[in-house]
Amino acid sequence: GANWNLGLLDATCGGGSAALFASWDWENDRSAWAACDRDGALYRTANRGMNWDVVDVPGIGAMSLTAAPNGERVFLGTIDGLYISENDGPLELAAFDDMQIQSLAISPQWADGDRTLYAIIANGGWYISEDGGDSWSALTNLPSENYALSVAVSPDFGTDGIVAVAGYDGAYLSHDRGKTWAWLNTLELHEETSPQVVLEGEWYQ
């Protein structure tokens, strides 16, 4: 991150790139996905960003994005529901119709059979899917009813079950896949920006 260059999608998205996700298996599959905030146009690169191909254009503004290795399933969160693309196929509305999908996170151990995903909904709901997005359940015993903005999972989520959520009143951590939560800290609120969960250095245990 010491130096940055404008990406190939900047002009295509009109300066409005909404979401970017680099595969957890980046070293091997060289894949990443990006989406535009205006029409949700979903792009994929399989050569670390040298070239991008359009997957589909749902015509709905994108908010969040995550994907399984090699694009087996790509999950696009929009202002009007969750869309799924299977193996670079067309995006299909799969869940949360008429809801804004603020943030998504996927288990890094998908290739090992862990099909867990998390979704943060703009109305305050925190959801989990344990079958690759086929069905969703609302997490209970939430530590806060305030607006949540970001969710992230540990690189070793498949074994440690660590998931974090950040929002307007701070950040929360779970060591049991979201069954119970511990308050981490109060985030300094800047209304013009969105608090995010970011991994720097070693994952907090």
For residue 6, give every residue at least 6 positions away whose Cβ sits within 8 Å of its Cβ, in sequence order, or none.
Answer: none
**Cβ-count burial 167-176 (b if 16+ within 10 Å, e if not):** bebbbbbbee
Residue 195 above 60 pLDDT? no
For residue 132, give every residue at least 6 positions away whose Cβ sits within 8 Å of its Cβ, in sequence order, or none.
Answer: 68, 73, 110, 115, 117
> For 112-144, how does the pLDDT look when each residue is reduced to its tens digit (9 = 90+)?
999 999 999 987 799 999 999 999 999 998 888
**3-class SS at 29?**
helix
> For 151-170, how does the pLDDT look when each residue is reduced to its tens digit (9 = 90+)?
999 999 999 999 999 887 78
pTM of the model: 0.86
> For 40-78, how does the pLDDT look when each residue is reduced to its tens digit (9 = 90+)?
899 999 998 888 899 999 999 999 999 998 889 999 999
Residue 99 above 90 pLDDT? yes
Residue 193 above 60 pLDDT? no
Q: Tokens for 120?
A: 């943060």
